[in-house]
């Protein structure tokens, strides 16, 4: 179920620019996962890492202003 929560968050972020902006704020994966838990998504750093690795996405931010490029459209 946790993998599905990661996927659901990535899809939701792909559809909602305000959600993406909110999740661009956390500096670490631990902060990202804690924020997700507050929004009802239940997964661990390890599960997030696994899903991102499988999809070829990288957690780090890039650009100016810096943003994550992990969102699924």
Task: Give tens-digit pLDDT for 17-27.
Answer: 999 999 999 99
The mean pLDDT of the chain is 96
Counting Cα atoms < 13 Å in the Cβ hemisphere of 12 gives 15
15-60 pLDDT, tens digit each: 999 999 999 999 999 999 999 999 999 999 999 999 999 999 999 9
Share of the chain above pLDDT 90, in %: 97
Whether 71 has a pLDDT exceeding 90, the answer reads yes
Q: What is the DSSP letter of 8?
A: H
Whether 1 has a pLDDT exceeding 90, the answer reads no
């Amino acid at each position: 179920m946790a993998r599905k929560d990661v996927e659901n968050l990535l899809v939701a972020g792909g559809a909602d620019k305000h959600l993406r902006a909110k999740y661009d704020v956390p500096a670490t994966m631990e902060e990202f996962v804690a924020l997700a838990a507050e929004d009802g998504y239940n997964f661990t750093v390890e599960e997030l890492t696994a899903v991102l690795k499988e999809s070829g996405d990288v957690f780090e931010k890039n650009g100016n202003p810096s943003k994550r490029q992990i969102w699924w459209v």
